[in-house]
Amino acid sequence: MEVSFSREIENLKLGDGQTFHGEGILAVTKALLQSGVTYVGGYQGSPISHLLDVMVQARPYLDELGVHVEACTNESSAAAMLGASIMYPVRGAVTWKSIVGTNVASDALSNLASPGVMGGAVIVVGEDYGEGASVIQERTHAFALKSTIWLLDPRPNLTSIVNLVEKAFELSEASNTPVMMELRIRTCHVQGSFQTKANIAPKISSVHLQQSAPEFSYAKLAHPPATYAQEKLKYESRMPAARRFIVDAALNEQWAGEPTGVGLIVQGGLYNTLIRALDVLGLTNEAGESRIPLLVLNVVYPLVPEQITTFCKDKQGVMIIEEGQPEFIEQEVATHLQRSQSRTALHGKDFLSMGGEYTAEILIRGIQAFTDTYPANVVPAVVPSYLPRLDETRQTATQILKQPLPARPPNFCTGCPERPVFSALKLVEREVGKLHIAADIGCHALATFAPFSFGHSILGYGMSMASSAAVKNFSARRPIAIMGDGGFWHNGLLSGVSSTLLNQGDGVLVIMKNGYTSATGTQETVSSPDSASKLIAQGHSATSTEMTIERTLEGMGVKWLRTVHNYKVSKVQDTLREALSSPFKGLKVIVAEGECQLERQRRLKPIQAMRLKQGLRMLRTRYGIDEDTCTGDHSCIRLSGCPTLTIKDATDPLKSAPVAHVNNDCVGCGLCGEVADAAVLCPSFHKIEIVTNPSWWERFIARFNQWTIRQLQGQS
């Protein structure tokens, strides 16, 4: 059962003058339809997943408008969709998680940016730094500079976001250049409202078909020698056109503030955090507006030299507030000021951290240092009293703990089918010694944390097998590559399996077949349980047996292939042991099958609620631990890491160590008992079957059992 976006879909249908209430990424989705987009594609990932998820579920409505929506197999195929806008006057939008998604899409994007576009082409990327990020800390800005793709960073306000989406298409068409829009987690999930416009049905679409193909034009191909002329056009024609549009459309914003002799230039996406920091420092007026002049860059590339020099004119010092590294904006501003022979002193990373997320605390400290440098120009900042107290509290906590505050890493969901595989792998390591584990992007990457601590590299989505290609040639033990079914279809099939077969490599690949692309929001893959039936319902000739990972691997030529049920720890253990010791020289693949527990619970809970409401019998399984038997060894916890498997104080005064305990969040997956059996641990685990609305026979048996136990205990 998928997460339902029925309410969000209704918001997409709002017309002229109505009010949209919701979060930023859904405002972007509505803005695309208001802009007359012809096609939308992409690959899911935080924080932009909802854009594509909502569009996919809204297909019946979008079919009426003639908007084509495609859930792509990876970011490269999504970027390639924008090729439709090179020769046709159609607007297209694609989305993915950046920077990793942009890296995957880079080949298609480079070849798109060179010839340029006729119809508007917009790329929405989820850009993040710091603790909110789940990817490497690189910047899309670098790619925009390299390929000359314009980059927007809208102010986190729904009206501003929607306006920038609409203007992004116009900017793209005015300069014949694709446009990127970067959105942070805070921007995607900011709540607000805006006045909607009617959706525009595109003039060329699945409803209004283009009757003929365009005339052949070699100049529009990303192919030498045409590319030489295209490169000149980027800077001689497209960039001046883009700068004119940025000024004419007032895409960047200025706040005059007070004539203080200093100013701040800030990325649009950091505006809300900046205003919060200024407010804490007492540098805003009664209306919450900055007392220091601001230049808000909703377009961070290209910059307009005249805007920069005009803003900096007559100012003694200006600070650039730019998140991430290197300081691209600061360097470009410095170049423009130097060329204009400006005497304005430029600051930025000298007062702010080079990398990471710019939280309010970081901006408060940085702005305070900046204003202290120009005391004659700025009303002294009100240093918040809690900052020294915050530093003191951190020092005290470190002294008490005798170490820095402990991290709170994420963990597998309760009952996750991937946890048992790593429990089995840990047991195998006890027998054969330490193994090289090539990790991958996905839920299974959580095994890099305790209690498993598996993983020697993470090189990209679906790249685990490829990353162990050299290792398997000099390692005494066969390396193991871990990959999810999402990663398998995204990239692993070609970069890992195909490459290993081509080179006749000898290694072990474990594919976590949980049925979905789980880490990005449990979207379906081509091998998801319902995908085949949905294709058949849509009139395609597909059967479930054709849409499996196993049949694909067999068709590729994989000879050693095993499918195991994840929760059978001893069986998984035996299969891993066999793969590591098999005399077969070649690729060995273990498909570890177990449905994503999150999706399973979403599917079962409505059924269970309905049965309870109807008074029908319902059986729930969970596990428990006999406190009298438990020794307090806690090997079970070290081997499973289940959140419901915890500890509590023993009621027996003779036991000094806490005992293991299973709390009521247990979903009955059985891993703890399986681990206890496979590892020959203590026999304290027991299975509990909780029956709601039992039959008369079950009630009778329960009463009889209770009476028998009392008799045996000598009770009346």
Taking only the tens place, the pLDDT of each residue in 161-192 is: 999 999 999 999 999 999 999 999 889 999 99
Segment 486-499 shows an average pLDDT of 91
pLDDT given for residue 273 in this prediction? 94
Of the listed ranges 288-292, 482-486, 623-627, the one predicted with least confidence: 623-627
pLDDT given for residue 380 in this prediction? 62
Of the listed ranges 274-283, 494-503, 534-543, 595-604, the one predicted with least confidence: 534-543
Of the listed ranges 295-299, 514-518, 554-558, the one predicted with least confidence: 514-518
Cα–Cα distance measured from residue 551 to residue 543, given in angstroms and rounded to the nearest whole number = 12
| C-alpha distances in Å from residue 336, one per residue of 15, 300, 307, 343, 346 | 44, 14, 10, 12, 11
| C-alpha distances in Å from residue 344, one per residue of 194, 263, 316, 333 | 39, 10, 5, 11
The answer on pLDDT for 674 being more than 80 is: no
User: Could you tell me the two tokens for 489?
Assistant: 């279809």
pLDDT given for residue 355 in this prediction? 85
Segment 540-569 shows an average pLDDT of 80
Cα–Cα distance measured from residue 12 to residue 26, given in angstroms and rounded to the nearest whole number = 8
Of the listed ranges 72-81, 314-323, 340-349, 410-419, the one predicted with least confidence: 410-419
Q: Which residue has the higher pLDDT, 678 or 250?
A: 250
Paired residues of 689 in beta bridges? 621
pLDDT given for residue 414 in this prediction? 87
pLDDT given for residue 681 in this prediction? 67
Segment 205-226 shows an average pLDDT of 88
The answer on pLDDT for 295 being more than 80 is: yes
- Rounded percentage of the chain residues whose pLDDT exceeds 90: 55
Cα–Cα distance measured from residue 446 to residue 525, given in angstroms and rounded to the nearest whole number = 21
Of the listed ranges 277-286, 357-366, 433-442, 515-524, the one predicted with least confidence: 515-524
The answer on pLDDT for 644 being more than 80 is: yes
Buried b (16+ CB within 10 A) or exposed e, 232-265: ebbeeebbeebbebbeeeebbeebebeebbbbbb
Of the listed ranges 173-177, 305-309, 680-684, the one predicted with least confidence: 680-684
pLDDT given for residue 529 in this prediction? 72
pLDDT given for residue 541 in this prediction? 41
User: In the structure, what pLDDT confidence band is assigned to residue 547 with cuts at 50, 70 and 90?
Assistant: low
pLDDT given for residue 715 in this prediction? 63
The answer on pLDDT for 80 being more than 90 is: yes
Segment 547-555 shows an average pLDDT of 88
CB atoms within 10 A of CB 276: 16
Cα–Cα distance measured from residue 265 to residue 293, given in angstroms and rounded to the nearest whole number = 9
The answer on pLDDT for 601 being more than 60 is: yes
Cα–Cα distance measured from residue 586 to residue 574, given in angstroms and rounded to the nearest whole number = 19
User: In the structure, what pLDDT confidence band is assigned to residue 384 with cuts at 50, 70 and 90?
Assistant: low
pLDDT given for residue 111 in this prediction? 95
pLDDT given for residue 535 in this prediction? 43
pLDDT given for residue 537 in this prediction? 42
| C-alpha distances in Å from residue 675, one per residue of 98, 434, 546, 624, 639 | 38, 20, 34, 14, 7
The answer on pLDDT for 238 being more than 90 is: yes
pLDDT given for residue 1 in this prediction? 41
User: In the structure, what pLDDT confidence band is assigned to residue 206 with cuts at 50, 70 and 90?
Assistant: confident
Residue type, 203: K
pLDDT given for residue 372 in this prediction? 86
Each residue of 249-279: pLDDT tens digit? 999 999 998 877 899 999 999 999 999 999 9
Cα–Cα distance measured from residue 243 to residue 255, given in angstroms and rounded to the nearest whole number = 20
Segment 487-516 shows an average pLDDT of 91
Angle in degrees, CA 275, 302, 332, rounded to 5: 80
- Rounded percentage of the chain residues whose pLDDT exceeds 70: 94
pLDDT given for residue 545 in this prediction? 43
Max mean pLDDT among 115-119, 514-518, 614-618 falls in 115-119
Question: Residue 704, class by beta-carbon neighbours within 10 Å (0-12 exposed, 13-18 middle, 19+ buried)?
Answer: exposed
User: Could you tell me the two tokens for 76?
Assistant: 């490269």
The answer on pLDDT for 243 being more than 90 is: yes
Q: Which residues contact 609 (CB under 8 A, 6 or more apart)?
A: none
Cα–Cα distance measured from residue 84 to residue 117, given in angstroms and rounded to the nearest whole number = 9
Cα–Cα distance measured from residue 217 to residue 486, given in angstroms and rounded to the nearest whole number = 38
Segment 83-105 shows an average pLDDT of 93
Cα–Cα distance measured from residue 635 to residue 89, given in angstroms and rounded to the nearest whole number = 64
The answer on pLDDT for 386 being more than 80 is: no
User: Could you tell me if residue 483 is left (phi over 0), alpha (psi between -120 and 50 degrees) or otherwise beta?
Assistant: beta
Q: Structural domains in the chain?
A: 6-210+218-247 (3.40.50.970), 253-389 (3.40.50.920), 419-599 (3.40.50.970), 618-712 (3.30.70.20)
Do residues 2 and 530 make contact, with C-beta atoms less than 8 angstroms apart? no
Q: What is the DSSP string of 347-398?
A: ESTTTS-SSS---HHHHHHHHHHHHHH-TTTSPPP---THHHHHHHHHHHHH
